[in-house]
Amino acid sequence: MSQAILAKSVTKTFGTGPLAFQALKGVDFHMHEGELVMLAGPSGSGKTTLLSILGCVLGATSGKVTLFGEEITGLPESAMPKLRLSYIGFVFQGHNLISSLTAEENVSFQLQLRGFGLKESRNEALRLLERVGLGDKAERKPEELSGGQRQRVAIARAVAGAPPLILADEPTASLDAKSGLSVTEMLRELAKERGHTVLVVTHDSRIFHLADRLVHMEDGQFVEMSS
């Protein structure tokens, strides 16, 4: 399998002087295409910081990060949106759907950002919502959906346009056990059936068994890796 992510000696320091806080302390990390990795650890351990750097929404202080063979460290801020559109789909902890848009519009909006035409994006959005079991709820707004359904819309949005990398930040945090498991199974299905590389940051030990690899972080460093 080809390498999807390669991170070497990545550090991230917030602030300067005596108030400086080092969130990542020389992290080395890699993922293969089609792999599902879960990143676990206590709050403040650096999981989300690493996810943000890999997701091109935050720059590393030092080190080197490569996504699908393209080095992203040192690129200007203005290049980041294009990288995110090319490589990454996000699933956020609080689903972060646009409240004024319907499920279909939330998904097709992402597709339009990725260059799809209006009609094409609508058709594709409906297909993706069918795939996550929400074909009959395409016209509903987020407030008219349950937590699990919202997260499934968020997954449909994340995979819209088939980005190779899915980054999920605590996707089960606001869900009950059953919905959380269902959402994670969907993410695993994406990795195994469609070849997406999926990195999940989570506290939720109930879903650990679905990971290809489980990585524990503490105090800005990896402390344990298990398959």
Is the separation of the CB atoms in 171 and 91 below 8 Å?
yes
Q: Which of residues 106-145 bind another protein (CB under 8 A)?
A: 109-110, 112-114
- How far apart, in whole angstroms, are the C-alpha atoms of residue 123 and residue 98? 19
43 binds another protein (CB under 8 A): no
- Per CB under 8 A, the list member of 45, 48, 149, 197 interacting with another protein is 48
Is the CB of 100 or the CB of 226 nearer to another protein? 100
Residue count at the site for another protein (CB under 8 A)? 28
101 binds another protein (CB under 8 A): yes
C-alpha distances (whole Å) from 224 to each of 8, 16, 70, 206, 217 are 17, 30, 27, 18, 7
Residue with tokens 């109930």: 206
Nearest to 125 by CA among 93, 92, 100, 103: 103
- How far apart, in whole angstroms, are the C-alpha atoms of residue 68 and residue 6? 8
What SS3 class is residue 103? Answer: helix
Q: Which of residues 140-169 bind another protein (CB under 8 A)?
A: 157, 169
Only segment of 26-34, 37-45, 83-91, 208-216 that touches another protein (CB under 8 A): 83-91
DSSP 8-state assignment for residue 23: E
DSSP secondary structure of 112-177: HHTT--HHHHHHHHHHHHHHTT-GGGTT--GGGS-HHHHHHHHHHHHHTT--SEEEEESTTTTS-H
35 binds another protein (CB under 8 A): no
- Per CB under 8 A, the list member of 84, 137, 150, 152 interacting with another protein is 84
Is the CB of 121 or the CB of 149 nearer to another protein? 121
User: Site map for another protein, 166-195, x if CB under 8 A?
Assistant: ---x--------------------------
Q: How far is the CB of 52 from another protein (least distance, A)?
A: 5
Q: What residues line the site for another protein (CB under 8 A)?
A: 48, 51-52, 55, 57-58, 80-82, 84-85, 89-90, 92-93, 96, 98-101, 105, 109-110, 112-114, 157, 169
